[in-house]
Structure 1
């Protein structure tokens, strides 16, 4: 049985599924496109400022950091894992950079250190999950508190300001001669990179195989532990990169930054079609759902909807994203 399972996994990793035109147009991503159009039309009807091209591009400033963290989270959830510590990793990385800058280090030194700390945080999560065999939920719930606590220990309640202009340009400015934010271009580059990694490489096919049957993957010779550690390190890296962009956007660093962002990130991935049970998900789905959530929040902001109500809406969207596909699946089986 183990040998047969191993052969099935090897076939899954090596063979690419044939293209189906009907299957293509029945994909969940088309539903997300339809929702983006519908929500966009609603927003345009309630605010004359929504369809302004400059405003549409400026809207992306509010969710680029979340979108960057959602890219590796897609891989993590496909392997039936979770990372609740992404926002805390962002805070810890940002605090590391701010602390070094506060004590006279050049901002680029602090940025490199922040990236290193983020990757180390992801590596620690991955090792606890693979070597100590702790559940991802338990590990990242613990580091959710640990990393945020370390950020407070480094900076306390006092924000760090005064970053050089060239650094803040990354988070605040646009591509010369266009309304396109520099941070949006950064997101597009990484979205393309993660999309190719997940859907066009053996590494990505192994990620899907692990989510479908981790036990069989081990029999097939796939280094499951190494792949898991790497995707958690990707998560730490992207959280640290998000920390740099956020610090540049606000021109300062506080230890309470990104509070609650983990909910948005997980919602974006699940709404994008990823299965929390593993084995299913697409990068384009995550990207589309990130923009969908951003459009929803932007529309509520234009109508001055309180932040607490926006959180309720985000929680409702997460429940919708989990409930509807399951109900549809049961209906189709019947």
Structure 2
């Protein structure tokens, strides 16, 4: 198969094409999909997934994962609501919530890098722990009276367009993440770590430091997402963002990031994020139940893990057939 054709059918390219097809079909056949208000809802509701997907992509490329991100976001929102109720200024609360996210990421990172524990097990444990702390902090209360200008930024649109006010800020973060992963020595080292941690160490890469940095970044972005969630939906509760980790992981893997590490692009991950967000939006417009939407998300998660693996097996089998069918060197005609 020609190299150009191989590149054209890469998994992340396929996901981008599926997103384009879904958008075209939705604009054509789904009532209400194309109006400015719905498109604003689609982007705004997808932004929490997209924000966490940025560091999560780097983390999965390095061969790790963080399933506590939704609980970190919920804890950040709970602390935000608690401190606001106690009269603290919102300008002071937000930096404190971001610092809390760094602490949560530090706990995860130290347990993985210093104690050698698997990130899957560690973050399942902290998923429960951080959510429990959030419930202790805020209880069953819901805090809704945040400053109007912050609510408008998180939920408002730019003029009469469908573009949320927060979307340009996300694009800046996306650009930073793309540069870090695909255009810096640190980003290239993450692919090396994910492909072979032992080989990366022999190459002089400080594996533990790189992974700890990624856990810190993931915790920070999860806490920022918790703040955004509380302002976007005008409600800080301990159970904010419950289940968001499933959507984040499904979207990242759907975008072609290899669960075993070493492969993936941020472009593919973001295409997966918005493919999942658009699909959920369409299902809501078609009155598909929330339970059925969860089933679809789960199926996509399985497909996103299975699809690239099947593709690799097909490529390996094709290469083996070519090697078998090629004539031995002694029988080839001289050049």
Q: For residue 230 of structure 1, report the CA deviation from its aligned partner.
A: 0.6
Tell me the distance in 2 between the aligned counterparts of 1:32 and 1:144. 29
SS at match of 2:166: helix
SS at match of 2:303: helix
The yes-or-no answer on 1:98 pairing with 2:66 is: no
Q: For residue 21 of structure 1, report the CA deviation from its aligned partner.
A: 5.0
Tell me the distance in 2 between the aligned counterparts of 1:252 and 1:109. 18
Post-superposition CA distance 1:81-127 (Å, at most 9, x none): 11010000001111111111111100111111110001110111011
The yes-or-no answer on 1:201 pairing with 2:184 is: yes
Post-superposition CA distance 1:69-91 (Å, at most 9, x none): 01111111111111010000001
Structure 2 partner of 1:62: 45
Structure 2 partner of 1:110: 93
Structure 2 partner of 1:74: 57
Structure 1 partner of 2:156: 173
Structure 1 partner of 2:131: 148
Tell me the distance in 2 between the aligned counterparts of 1:223 and 1:145. 30
Structure 1 partner of 2:324: none
Structure 2 partner of 1:159: 142
Structure 2 partner of 1:318: 301
Tell me the distance in 1 between the aligned counterparts of 2:4 and 2:220. 37
Structure 2 partner of 1:189: 172
Tell me the distance in 1 between the aligned counterparts of 2:121 and 2:274. 29
Structure 2 partner of 1:14: none
The number of residues matched between the two structures is: 315
**1:22 to 1:332, Cα distance in 2 relative to 1, 3 A:** closer
2:251 is matched with which residue: 268, 281, 285? Answer: 268
1:308 is matched with which residue: 265, 288, 291? Answer: 291
Contact 1:98 / 1:110 at 8 angstroms: preserved in 2? no
Tell me the distance in 1 between the aligned counterparts of 2:11 and 2:159. 36
Contact 2:73 / 2:223 at 8 angstroms: preserved in 1? yes
Please report the TM-score for the alignment, with normalisation by the length of structure 1: 0.91
Q: For residue 213 of structure 1, report the CA deviation from its aligned partner.
A: 1.0
Tell me the distance in 1 between the aligned counterparts of 2:270 and 2:34. 20
Tell me the distance in 1 between the aligned counterparts of 2:184 and 2:7. 20
Structure 2 partner of 1:9: none
Post-superposition CA distance 1:276-299 (Å, at most 9, x none): 111011100111111100110010
The yes-or-no answer on 1:258 pairing with 2:241 is: yes
Post-superposition CA distance 1:17-57 (Å, at most 9, x none): xxx75554333232112211222233335422112344323
Unmatched runs of 5 consecutive residues or more in structure 1: 1-19
Larger Rg computed on CA atoms: 2
Structure 2 partner of 1:15: none
Contact 1:84 / 1:144 at 8 angstroms: preserved in 2? yes
C-alpha RMSD of matched pairs (Å): 1.5
Please report the TM-score for the alignment, with normalisation by the length of structure 2: 0.90
Contact 2:146 / 2:234 at 8 angstroms: preserved in 1? yes
Structure 2 partner of 1:331: 314
Tell me the distance in 2 between the aligned counterparts of 1:299 and 1:176. 25
For residues 122-141 of structure 1, the aligned pairs below 5 Å read 122-141=105-124
Tell me the distance in 2 between the aligned counterparts of 1:299 and 1:178. 20
Unmatched runs of 5 consecutive residues or more in structure 2: 318-335
2:224 is matched with which residue: 241, 257, 269? Answer: 241
Tell me the distance in 2 between the aligned counterparts of 1:99 and 1:181. 27
Tell me the distance in 2 between the aligned counterparts of 1:47 and 1:277. 37
